[in-house]
Amino acid sequence: MIHLDNIPEECLTFFQDTLRLLEESKSQYMVGGALAMFHYTGIIRPTKDLDIFCKSSEYPKILKHFAAKGYQTELTDVRWLAKIHKAPYFIDIIFDSVNHNCTVEKDWFDRGPEGILFDTTVRYIPPEELVWCKLYVQNRERHDSADINHIWLRYGKKLDWNHLLMRMDQHWHLLLAQMLIFQFTYPHDYRDIIPTDLFNELIVRAKDQYELPPCMEKVCLGPLIDQTQYEIDIKEWDYKSYTIKTV
């Protein structure tokens, strides 16, 4: 359980009210963000927001219920994000990722563990999906590599690595790169946490890349992990952007 002494009373009241209203709305939701990080790692850090994950079919119900209770609501981006405000705090309602690769689906709820948060029984985003989302956050302004390292260090022995590979199979390079960063960061611990067979499989995949014919299209996948720093590649250097799904 989170130590309530570490959270300002006003913020604690906001979180408690949020969870109560979410329960009243009869919506299916999961807790992510800093509070999920605490659940899996024990790390607690100051936050003014609560990250709530849900299917896209659920967010209208949540927004309507909070609006009826006097909260300011906004549909920030119909493709992945809505927000609920009660200054200075806010709630992110997340139903996809900014690159539209990590769409929240029913199996997230089936796999997400339950826990007690501020006296309320909640379901947390599964650790594999939490890592999946964070592997694509490599912006200049924010980089979630350390978060992933801490999840693996504290929870990696319980992680379903095959499920994580399934999630990352199309972009397995990012998973391998993070494994190497983890190996560098924790030279004492990586052998006990990262499965050797999985690591070797990805190393073989990386070697095999050199035996494939060259890519016919001049594509830059950078926008998948940073939506601003690779603009020059697309706009000036004649690279084609990765095509993402649309709604």
Tell me how far apart the alpha carbons of residues 66 and 178 are, in angstroms, rounded to a whole number.
38
Tell me how far apart the alpha carbons of residues 8 and 79 are, in angstroms, rounded to a whole number.
33
**25-80 tens-digit pLDDT:** 999 999 999 999 999 999 988 778 899 999 999 999 999 999 999 999 999 999 99
| pLDDT at site 119 | 85
Are both 120 and 142 inside the same structural domain? no
| pLDDT at site 247 | 37
- Domain boundary (107, 125, 143) is at 125
Q: How many domains does the chain have?
A: 3
Inform me whether the pLDDT recorded for 136 exceeds 50: yes
Are both 47 and 149 inside the same structural domain? no
Tell me how far apart the alpha carbons of residues 242 and 245 are, in angstroms, rounded to a whole number.
10
Are both 150 and 44 inside the same structural domain? no
- Alpha-carbon Rg for the chain, nearest whole angstrom, is 19
Give residue 229's domain range.
216-247
| pLDDT at site 5 | 57
Q: Does the pTM exceed 0.95?
A: no
| pLDDT at site 245 | 45
Average pLDDT estimate for 211-236: 92
Alpha helices in the chain (DSSP H): 9-24, 33-41, 59-68, 106-111, 127-134, 145-155, 161-168, 172-185, 190-193, 196-208, 231-235
Residue 162 Rama label (left phi>0; alpha psi -120 to 50; beta) = alpha
| pLDDT at site 6 | 66
